[in-house]
Amino acid sequence: MAKQTVLVTGGAGYIGSHTIVELLANNNYDVISADCFFNSSPKAYTQIEQITGKKIKSYNIDLCDEKAFDKIFAENKIDGVIHFAAFKAVGESVEHPLKYYHNNIASLVNLLSLCEKHKVQNVIFSSSCSVYGNVQKLPVDENTPMPKAESPYAYTKQIGESMLEDFCKQHTTFNAIALRYFNPVGSHISAKIGEWPLGKPNNLVPLITGTAIGKYPQLTVLGGDYPTRDGTCIRDYIHVTDIATAHVLALNYLLEHKNKSNYDVYNLGSGNGVSVLEAIAAFEKVSGKKLNYKIGDRRPGDVIAVYSDSSKVQNTLGWKCEHDIDSMMKTAWEWEVYRTQNNF
């Protein structure tokens, strides 16, 4: 495959930065990043360069500004887009729904409009297991019916998938894949990039590592009375590098014209349900640190339990989950230590 140019939106973010590293390691791609650093840092680009030895072209723009967004397409010949840029905090979306509807939907509308204008025909969309809501049967596969979303964030992902499917029906030469990934954790093996939220994080693992290193006095487990084996929510945790690899495989699949339909969806998960308390126990085992935590109230918008059947992506794209929960926690902790030592 000749070298092609990929636009990664949200490229300074957690999954975006890891995906850029995998794209550059693949050596088939030139990468352009777009990020407005709402919940990320431009230092991520420096860290990517340290890992890969390659400097990437980047734009500091808000994707909801179509005129500014158009500049990227006008100045570069783009062969494909991997679209990560979105607000992603479940709890915040419940408190500020319009913020999420505006940002997550308007940015995708602009992306698809500009793809149409500039004849860019391949998009990988960052979706989420949150589209499944509270399901009756586990594990979930791609044919599991989607119920009413439990949060505005989840609903924006359902809407995003519908937008892509409708756009693909209208434009038969346009290709899109939505990757419904489960709970991303861990960091790059180098420990030079990882989950890098600005302010106090909303996700479990950076709260665990931040508490262990002394940034936060205590971790509050959000709910201990769920109908699960230990009363805490169950999630399917997946290493961020495994997610990044899947995005590269999905993009290769489209650019090599291997897809049989121009729109498809795939789950990305380990297939294993891990409770919050089990995740804490895994962290304590690999770090050797006892975590200070308490059981608190439930968080609005959280589903009780969800984990995946990811056989479709394994069979079609040849992807598989390479990391277990211990590896996820070990690399997350190594990143937390590195980040603290370097005052990030």
Residue 1 clears pLDDT 70, i.e. is over it: no
| Residue 344 banded pLDDT, cuts 50, 70, 90 | confident
The answer to whether residues 92 and 202 touch, using CB atoms and an 8 Å cutoff, is yes
Q: Looking at beta carbons, which pairs linking 128-131 to residues 24 or more positions away fall under 8 Å? A: 128/88, 128/153, 128/154, 128/157, 128/180, 128/181, 129/180, 129/181, 129/182, 129/183, 129/236, 129/267, 129/269, 129/306, 129/308, 130/90, 130/154, 130/157, 130/303, 131/157, 131/158, 131/161, 131/180
Residue 66 clears pLDDT 90, i.e. is over it: yes
Amino acid at 288: G
One-character DSSP codes across 44-94: HHHHHHHHHS---EEE---TT-HHHHHHHHHHS--SEEEE--S---HHHHH
One-character DSSP codes across 226-284: SSSSSSS-EE-EEEHHHHHHHHHHHHHHHHTT--SSSEEEEEE--S--EEHHHHHHHHH
In a domain, 306, yes or no: no
| pLDDT reported for residue 136 | 83
Reading phi first (left if > 0) and then psi (alpha if -120 to 50, else beta), residue 305 is in: beta
* Residues 285, 105: Cα–Cα separation, whole Å: 41
Among 262, 256, 270, 261, residue whose Cα is nearest residue 319: 270
The answer to whether residues 192 and 47 touch, using CB atoms and an 8 Å cutoff, is yes
* Residues 146, 135: Cα–Cα separation, whole Å: 8
Please measure the distance between the N-terminal and C-terminal CA atoms of the chain and give it in whole angstroms.
38
Q: What percent of the chain has pLDDT over 70?
A: 100
- Select the more confidently predicted residue: 90 or 247: 247
| Residue 134 banded pLDDT, cuts 50, 70, 90 | confident
| pLDDT reported for residue 281 | 98
We report the CATH number of the domain holding residue 95 as: 3.40.50.720
In a domain, 72, yes or no: yes
Amino acid at 43: K
In a domain, 164, yes or no: yes
Torsion of CA 68, 179, 231, 301, to 10 degrees: 40
Look up the pTM and report it.
0.95
| pLDDT reported for residue 2 | 72
* Residues 191, 183: Cα–Cα separation, whole Å: 19
- 29-40 pLDDT, tens digit per residue, is 999 999 999 989
Residue 114 clears pLDDT 90, i.e. is over it: yes
| Domain count along the chain | 1
Q: Tell me, yes or no, if 153 is annotated catalytic.
A: yes
The answer to whether residues 178 and 125 touch, using CB atoms and an 8 Å cutoff, is yes
In a domain, 322, yes or no: no
State mean pLDDT over 61-89.
Answer: 97
Q: What is the mean pLDDT of the chain?
A: 95
- 192-237 pLDDT, tens digit per residue, is 999 987 778 888 999 999 999 999 999 999 999 999 999 999 999 9
Q: Which of 59, 100, 153, 307 is catalytic?
A: 153
In a domain, 66, yes or no: yes
Domain that holds residue 10: 4-185+238-269
In a domain, 198, yes or no: no
Residue 55 clears pLDDT 90, i.e. is over it: yes
In a domain, 342, yes or no: no
* Residues 181, 52: Cα–Cα separation, whole Å: 25
- 148-200 pLDDT, tens digit per residue, is 999 999 999 999 999 999 999 999 999 999 999 999 999 999 999 999 877 78
Give the pair of three-digit tokens for residue 31.
């990468």
| Residue 4 banded pLDDT, cuts 50, 70, 90 | very high
| Residue 28 banded pLDDT, cuts 50, 70, 90 | confident
List, in order, residues 6 or more apart from 94 with CB less than 8 Å away: 151, 152, 300, 301
In a domain, 305, yes or no: no
Query: Position of tokens 């990929």?
Result: 6
Cα dist. 268→232, 241, 290 in Å?
22, 12, 31
